[in-house]
Chains A and B, each alone.
Chain A
Amino acid sequence: MSGRFSWKKTSAEAQLLLIGIPVFLWTMIPVYHLFLFAISSKDSATSGRLWPKEPTLQNFGIVFREQHFYLNHFWLQLLNSVVIAVTVAVLTLFIATCAAFAISRLKLVGGRTVMNLALFTYFIPAAFLAVPMYKTMSVYGLLNSQWALILAMVTIASPYGIWVLKQASDKLPWELDEAARIDGASPLQLFRLVYVPLMMPSLVAVGTYSLLLAWNEYLYAFLLLSKDTDVTLAVALGNFLSADDSPWELLMATGFIYALPPAAIYYAFKRYMVSGLTAGAVKS
């Protein structure tokens, strides 16, 4: 608490601010612009003001009451997004946890090969797989079924899941497995009673990751689904682009609603996500 004024200190703070302020503006301008439109009436939205003269929630009212051509199935599409994201998360967790357990704890013969196959899939750019995936789904007769999107997203999400879970799983002490084996536990008991409880933080990370991946997905959703009653909210938002005279203030309000749940989930599970993502993306 010396409170002494020092030029050196002040200039260091000023330099930090010179970086911090542009970073803040760069990050917030698109987000704030979105928010501003969502709370502006149709006429005042394009006035170029920094805060609307009369902020209003009427756009949200129109969205919630489905009172526009583009929004006829808003609630159903929201439900589609939720159902698809949750199903993808559950299936990915199941598949990835089983595989990671088999590779890391049961020392499956050929586990390394399976891991390499998963890593290879993880590194295929998603847009490259989109066209063959589309053709394949049509061969399987799954096109325009929500299962097509669910299975495609599980395919994309599970390699990352297996990778993160295997990394975390290799760190568990081997003595645990030995103790369980000596006590006569079966592999499934070891899995259920020892492995899954100990892996909880990583399971949360992988579950959140796949949930958000599926919720946010646009390309696969708009390729694989077409009926207005089947599509997710992401596709519905993209459909606003089909006309030049789209109601942008409604688009922004819908987009705001669509962006809130993943942002909330991200921040709620940030602790798990960050460690999972940094471990999974890059092993230095």
Chain B
Amino acid sequence: MSAVVAAPAPAVRPLSPWAFWGRMLVLPYLVVFLVFVLYPVFYGLWLARHPSSYERLFEDPIFLRTAINTVIFIVVAINLKMMVALGLSGFFVQKRWWISVLSVIFIIPWAVPSIPTILSVRFMLNPEWGVINSLIFRLTGLDGPNWLNDPTLALGFSMLMHVWKSLPFWTLILVAGRLAIPVEQYEAASVDGATRWQKFRFITWPAMRSLYLTSTILSMIWTLGDFNSVYLLTGGGPADLTHVLATLGIRYLRLDQVDLSMAAIVVSLPLVLPLVYFMMKRLSK
């Protein structure tokens, strides 16, 4: 005992094994973060440092069109998807054997990789051999439209593709939210003679509002990164009129204009970062 007391105090207190291993075990992730997140982010910002990149970006008519497309995609596709998901979550909580079966089938778009199914839809829409125009020809004797050659239709189908792919996931999230509402509240409302709308308005919605908002914002952030729904269906065409930010960045990269690609991302940050900040606040509570 006395020997311990007599020993000179070390300049640096040795770490307890618990603190030591705490640092050691978090190290692999920190290395990954520094090498593959922090460095790329700063390198990307450095690539986009010249004001001339932004001038060229804003002079590019494709960029303006892309910005509009991205906003339409986010506002229309996400809200459509989330409203349908909210409605369908009410359908999937019904207790029927066939609804249980259907809920297993319903998840397929989410469970399978997107490439084969997107390419399948792309071929359905093929003007000459696609099944849709074949049906139109057989029923009416007329040639169907060249679906993906019209920028409005092509962007619309990209949005539908996105909804097809991610609707099951968000429905699942909202089903979990609905199942957390006590059944007694609905029973009491039924006794009081509440209509279906009143039950939704005064029980379901107040309980789900916060989950719905969080889901919508998260879905917006993730959809900005949805490259496949547009690239694999339309390739950004016709005439580069259906690009969104995710595909435009890759287009510039292919054209060896990395500074434009980074500038396009930087320009979107004032819109994206508040959403990210909101989500981080919310999740790290």
Contact = CB atoms under 8 A, between A and B. Distances in A.
A103 B26 CA distance: 8
Contacts of A128: 224-225, 245-246, 249, 265, 272
B283 A34 contact: no
Given A119-B284, A123-B221, A30 B120 contact: yes
Interface stretch (A57-65, A67-75, A214-222): A214-222
Contacts of A163: 283
Chain B interface extent, by class? 35 or more
Q: Which 5 A-B pairs have the closest CB atoms?
A: A255-B116, A125-B225, A132-B44, A127-B246, A106-B22
Contact of A131 (B114, B177, B262): B262
B145 to A, nearest CB: 17
B116 A132 contact: no
Contacts of A278: 172-173, 176
Contacts of B146: none
A119 B283 contact: yes
A218 B176 CA distance: 30
Contact of B169 (A99, A133, A277): A277
A176 interface: no
B171 to A, nearest CB: 10
B72 interface: no
A72 to B, nearest CB: 19
Interface residues of A, number: 94
A39 interface: no
A196 interface: no
Interface in A237-268: 237-238, 240-241, 248, 251-252, 255-256, 258-259, 262-263, 266-267
A252 B116 contact: yes
B80 interface: no
Interface in B96-134: 96, 98-99, 102, 104-109, 111-117, 119-121, 123-124, 129, 131, 134
B29 A48 contact: no
Interface in B7-24: 17-24
A139 B123 CA distance: 39
A121 interface: yes
Contacts of A139: 43
A123 B36 contact: no
Contacts of B124: 29-30, 33
A223 to B, nearest CB: 7
A181 B99 CA distance: 50
A112 interface: yes
Contacts of A216: 113-115
Interface string A14-52: 001001100110111111011001000000001110000
A95 B29 contact: yes
Interface in B223-279: 223-228, 231-232, 235, 245-247, 249-250, 252-253, 258, 261-262, 265, 272, 275-276, 279
B36 A155 contact: yes
Nearest to A134: B253
A283 B120 contact: no
B26 A34 contact: no
Interface of B: 17-26, 28-30, 32-33, 36-37, 39-41, 43-44, 47, 88, 91, 94, 96, 98-99, 102, 104-109, 111-117, 119-121, 123-124, 129, 131, 134-135, 138, 164, 168-169, 172-173, 176-177, 180, 210-211, 214-215, 218, 221-228, 231-232, 235, 245-247, 249-250, 252-253, 258, 261-262, 265, 272, 275-276, 279-280, 282-285
B115 A255 contact: yes
Contacts of B214: 282-284
A215 B29 contact: no
A120 B276 contact: yes
Nearest to B165: A30
14 contacts: A28-B105, A48-B131, A99-B28, A115-B284, A120-B280, A125-B272, A163-B283, A187-B17, A216-B114, A258-B115, A270-B107, A284-B177, A284-B180, A284-B214
Q: Which of A135, A158, A216 has the most CB of B within 10 A?
A: A135
A282 B173 contact: yes
A186 B22 CA distance: 12
B18 A187 contact: yes
Nearest to B128: A46
A106 B283 contact: no
Given A128-B249, A128-B272, 15 more contacts: A28-B105, A31-B109, A98-B25, A102-B22, A106-B22, A106-B25, A128-B265, A155-B37, A162-B29, A218-B113, A218-B227, A248-B129, A282-B214, A284-B180, A284-B210
Nearest to A121: B37
B265 A102 contact: no
